[in-house]
Chain A
Amino acid sequence: MTTTRLAACLLVAFAPAAFAASGDASVGKKKSTPCAACHGAEGVSPSPEFPNLAGQYADYLETAMRHYKNGKRKNPIMAEQVKGLSEKDIVDLAAYFAGQRGLRTWY
């Protein structure tokens, strides 16, 4: 494999990751108003049945929203909420909630 082809492969391999990481948290904050009703103003849910989002991994949140949107994950409330979200909205929202302090990995 030539160096150029290797470089091209690497670029293709990492492009999705780079794209996924392009969420803008400050834009996400502005889009997060409807989320706050259930998930709390700062991603800490006031209700036991709704998950905390604060501090969750951005790529997990993105995957969850995409799955709600494409029907892989079924929840009537979330399906309705994500219906109108663009891919940019999804990464912005994920960046906003991931940047908050809250959830953590427990050892």
Chain B
Amino acid sequence: MHPLRFLVALALAAAGASAHAAGDAAAGKNKVYQCQGCHGIVDWKTAFPEVYRVPKLGGQKAEYIVAALKAYKKGERDFATMRAITADLTDQDMADIGAYYATHGTTTTTAEKKK
């Protein structure tokens, strides 16, 4: 491959990667107000159709949160409340929300967990 073509390919690959990882945790802080009503309360439970505690999000992987939000928006994951909330979220909102929760709170290593 010609060096120039290689560089172009690299640049395109990098651009693609950054388009996925462009979440802004600070911006996310202002976008989680709808989430916190359930996910921000310890032991908060769903009421219908099944009863279980809503998942903890603090320290979750940003990319996973984005994938979950997109799946709810597209109807691939089915929960009425999440479907309604995600209907109005843009891709940027989702990335920001993912970044916010990912950076607010996990113990990511064994060493940290033992503290």
Contacts and interface: CB of A to CB of B under 8 A. Distances in A.
Using C-beta atoms within 8 Å of the partner chain, give the interface range for chain A. 20 to 34
Contacts of B64: 45, 48-51
Task: Tell me the dominant secondary structure on chain B's binding face.
Answer: loop
A60 B61 contact: no
Task: Tell me the dominant secondary structure on chain A's binding face.
Answer: loop
B105 A106 contact: yes
Contacts of B56: 55-57, 103-105
Contacts of A83: none
B62 interface: yes
Using C-beta atoms within 8 Å of the partner chain, give the interface range for chain B. 20 to 34
A57 B55 contact: yes
A59 B106 CA distance: 20
A49 B63 contact: yes
Interface stretch (B7-15, B38-46, B88-96): B38-46
B34 interface: no
B57 A103 contact: yes
Contacts of A42: 110, 113
A57 B68 CA distance: 17
A73 interface: yes
Interface of A: 42, 44-45, 47-52, 54-57, 59-60, 62-63, 72-74, 100-107
29 contacts: A42-B113, A44-B109, A45-B61, A47-B61, A48-B62, A48-B64, A49-B63, A49-B67, A51-B60, A56-B56, A59-B52, A60-B55, A72-B78, A73-B77, A73-B78, A74-B77, A102-B107, A103-B55, A103-B56, A103-B57, A103-B60, A105-B39, A105-B40, A105-B41, A105-B57, A106-B58, A106-B59, A106-B105, A107-B36
